[in-house]
């Protein structure tokens, strides 16, 4: 099956620093990737939809200047959390359009961000 | 009201039981329906997907969609401890992004 990787799997940083998370589709090309955040015991919250070669579409309430998304190629999308603060601590998960059928997504393993 | 409602559980069953997981949705435009399984501290994995109404079977798993009642179900036969996870239902129109339920946490006890 299709594999999506994320790097790093875990990051701890100081408040005020920026953190970049990479999402790669390893054996397929992904025109569309999605970025989610998930708080403990809660569901996925879609942050933005990333399309290769164009600007990301952010969900209402998500600060586009704080969560910078770049989808430079058909296999790589990056999420940069700028000037991270403790309230940004969360589990960030990316997914790629599966192409299997409309709506199917292949998820990465997630990145746990802890901001001190 | 959320577009996709899912009972969060938790649901606990003995090994070998038949498990029924359910969701309801309100958007009549939804045509594609998915079930994902998420183990603790991992990303979700796609279990099954269906288009429109009907049943789909894959091994011990059966997905069922009833568009007339806007009801989505996942049945797990002969449940195993390894099935213990959070199960997320999701629905999609033809527009790209999916709407997820909040997930049901399932524990299968040996």
Quote the pLDDT of residue A102.
67
How many angstroms away from the CA of A75 is the closest CA of chain B?
Answer: 18
What is the Cβ-side half-sphere exposure of residue B88, based on CA atoms within 13 angstroms? 25
| Tens digits of residue pLDDT in B62-76 | 999 999 999 999 999
Low-confidence residues of chain B, pLDDT below 70? 94-96
The verdict on a CB contact (< 8 Å) between B43 and A4 is yes
Angle at CA of residue B62, ends B60 and B68, nearest 5°: 170
What residue ranges in chain A does DSSP mark as E strands?
Answer: 4-7, 10-13, 19-25, 32-38, 45-51, 57-58, 67-73, 76-81, 90-97, 105-107, 111-115
Q: How far is CA A75 from the centre of its chain?
A: 13
The pLDDT assigned to A31 comes to 86
Judge: B100–A44 Cβ closer than 8 Å, yes or no: yes
CA atoms of A113 and A1, how far apart (whole Å): 27
What are A38-73's pLDDT values in tens digits? 988 788 999 999 988 888 999 999 999 999 999 988
Q: From CA A18, how far away is CA B109, in angstroms rounded? A: 43
Q: How far apart are CA B100 and CA A44, in angstroms?
A: 7
- Whole-number average pLDDT of chain A: 91
A83 CA to chain B: closest CA distance, Å? 25
């Amino acid at each position: 099956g299709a594999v999506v990787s994320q790097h790093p799997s875990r990051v701890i940083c100081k408040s005020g620093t920026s953190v970049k998370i990479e999402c790669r589709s390893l054996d397929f090309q992904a025109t569309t990737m999605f970025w989610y955040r998930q708080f403990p015991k809660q569901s996925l919250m879609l942050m933005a939809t990333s399309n290769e070669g164009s600007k990301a579409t952010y969900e209402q309430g998500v600060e586009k200047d704080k969560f910078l998304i770049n989808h430079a190629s058909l296999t790589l999308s990056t999420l940069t959390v700028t000037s991270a603060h403790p309230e940004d601590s969360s589990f960030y998960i990316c997914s790629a359009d599966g192409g299997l059928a409309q709506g199917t997504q292949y998820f990465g393993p997630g990145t746990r961000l802890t901001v001190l | 009201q959320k577009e996709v409602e899912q009972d969060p559980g938790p649901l606990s069953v003995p090994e070998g039981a038949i498990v029924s997981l359910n969701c309801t949705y309100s958007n009549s435009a939804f045509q594609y329906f998915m079930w994902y399984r998420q183990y603790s501290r991992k990303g979700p994995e796609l279990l099954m997907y269906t288009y429109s109404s009907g049943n789909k079977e894959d091994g011990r798993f059966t997905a069922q969609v009833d568009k007339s009642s806007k009801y989505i179900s996942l049945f797990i036969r002969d449940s195993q401890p390894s099935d213990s996870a959070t199960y997320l239902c999701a629905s999609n129109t033809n527009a790209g992004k999916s709407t997820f339920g909040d997930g049901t946490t399932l524990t299968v006890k040996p």
